[in-house]
């Protein structure tokens, strides 16, 4: 009976391991097939080079741009733009959420304006920002900052207002002051919401960066895309789109890493 039980357990583990490998391979199967079909279509002429460059050509262009330093230098310019815009937008969103979330007067003063701001598409302000700030770096950074404010504000404001009343009552019973309640109870409970808002702001900032760099850029990924469009270099366009995607994935990974470290106290419903 013991040997049979061990065999059955071993078979179960083997089956589970096989299932995991199959599932892992299945996740990569469709992208690999898509790339192979793309390459085949390019080599057979079904997909003209001026329409879409082959994956092999894209990889070759990527290596060439990395070795020449063209891609890293322009990537740094784009990174500086998105980082500056995010710093302004996230900082402003946090301040406004604290003002609106921690006081009734602050809510009456701030929240109606933020709800009006929510209904205005950031890209619709592009012509106005060009009139106000010209065609330099300022409108690009301003668009990113404007777009990244609301996700931070909304999620942090909701997190503050969703603080557990029982925890606040317990803090009061222990004699904690209003500031201590905010620092030790309200803000920690709102931290998960803040990180959710940060993930949204990072994603939106990358999307706005793509458009804002089309505004008379003299450097950056958008500048490379504009030049490649003029010369019909679809390989360079695809390379820049890949970099945009990697920036988005990297930003999401960064927030997930911070979340895993900052929220170790929070129970998880997902089995490890």
Higher pLDDT, 216 or 12: 216
Q: How much is the average pLDDT of 240-254?
A: 85
pLDDT value for 23: 55
Q: Is the pLDDT of residue 139 over 80?
A: yes
C-alpha to C-alpha distance for 160 and 188, rounded to whole angstroms = 9
Whether residue 26 is contained in a domain is answered as: no
Q: Is the pLDDT of residue 44 over 70?
A: yes
What band does 13 get if pLDDT is binned at 50, 70 and 90? very low
What band does 21 get if pLDDT is binned at 50, 70 and 90? very low
Whether residue 61 is contained in a domain is answered as: yes
Whether residue 117 is contained in a domain is answered as: yes
What is the token pair recorded at 145?
């900052």
Q: How much is the average pLDDT of 46-63?
A: 84
Whether residue 16 is contained in a domain is answered as: no
Whether residue 29 is contained in a domain is answered as: no
Q: Where are the alpha helices (DSSP H) in 134-186?
A: 137-161, 165-173, 178-181
- Type and span of the H or E element at 219: none
Identify the CA nearest to 212 among candidates 132, 138, 114.
138
- Type and span of the H or E element at 177: none
Lowest mean pLDDT among 107-121, 158-172, 244-258: 158-172
Compute CA distances 132 → 147, 150, 158, 166, 173, whole Å.
17, 22, 33, 49, 53
What is the token pair recorded at 23?
């599932």
Identify the CA nearest to 138 among candidates 152, 156, 125.
125
pLDDT value for 101: 85
Number of compact structural domains in the chain: 1
Lowest mean pLDDT among 72-81, 96-105, 126-135, 210-219: 210-219
Q: The domain that contains 73 carries what CATH number? A: 1.10.3720.10
Q: Identify the DSSP state of 220.
A: S
pLDDT value for 6: 43
What band does 272 get if pLDDT is binned at 50, 70 and 90? very low
DSSP-derived 3-state class of residue 44: coil
pTM of the full predicted structure? 0.75
Q: Are 193 and 232 in contact (CB under 8 A)?
A: no
Average pLDDT value over all residues in the chain: 81
Q: Which of 8-17, 44-53, 159-168, 244-253 has the highest mean pLDDT?
A: 244-253
- Structural domain including 212 reads 55-262
Whether residue 31 is contained in a domain is answered as: no
Q: Is the pLDDT of residue 5 over 50?
A: no
What is the token pair recorded at 213?
């760099």
What is the token pair recorded at 86?
């995010």
Q: Is the pLDDT of residue 185 over 50?
A: yes
Whether residue 272 is contained in a domain is answered as: no
End-to-end CA distance of the chain: 31
DSSP-derived 3-state class of residue 46: coil
Whether residue 147 is contained in a domain is answered as: yes
Q: Are 143 and 83 in contact (CB under 8 A)?
A: no
């Amino acid at each position: 009976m013991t040997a049979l039980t061990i065999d059955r357990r071993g078979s179960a583990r083997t089956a589970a391991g096989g299932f995991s490998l199959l599932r892992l391979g299945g996740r990569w199967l469709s992208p690999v097939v898509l790339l192979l079909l793309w390459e085949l279509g390019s080599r057979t002429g079904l997909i003209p080079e001026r329409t879409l460059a082959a994956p092999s050509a894209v990889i070759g262009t990527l290596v060439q741009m990395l070795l020449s330093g063209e891609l890293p230098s322009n990537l740094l310019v784009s990174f500086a733009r998105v980082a500056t815009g995010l710093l302004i937008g996230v900082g402003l969103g946090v301040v406004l959420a604290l003002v609106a979330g921690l006081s009734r007067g602050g809510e009456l003063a701030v929240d109606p304006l933020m709800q009006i701001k929510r209904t205005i598409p950031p890209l619709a302000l592009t012509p106005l920002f060009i009139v106000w700030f010209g065609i330099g770096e300022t409108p690009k950074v301003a668009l990113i900052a404007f777009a990244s404010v609301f996700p931070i504000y909304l999620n942090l404001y909701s997190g503050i207002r969703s603080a557990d009343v029982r925890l606040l009552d317990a803090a009061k019973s222990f004699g904690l002051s209003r500031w201590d309640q905010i620092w030790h109870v309200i803000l920690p409970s709102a931290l998960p919401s803040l990180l959710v808002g940060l993930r949204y702001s990072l994603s939106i900032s990358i999307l706005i960066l793509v458009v804002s760099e089309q505004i008379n850029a003299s450097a950056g990924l958008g500048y490379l895309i504009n030049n490649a469009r003029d010369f019909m270099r679809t390989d360079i366009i695809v390379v820049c789109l890949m970099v945009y995607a990697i920036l988005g994935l990297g930003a999401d990974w960064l927030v997930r890493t911070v979340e895993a470290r900052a929220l170790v106290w929070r129970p998880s419903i997902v089995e490890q």
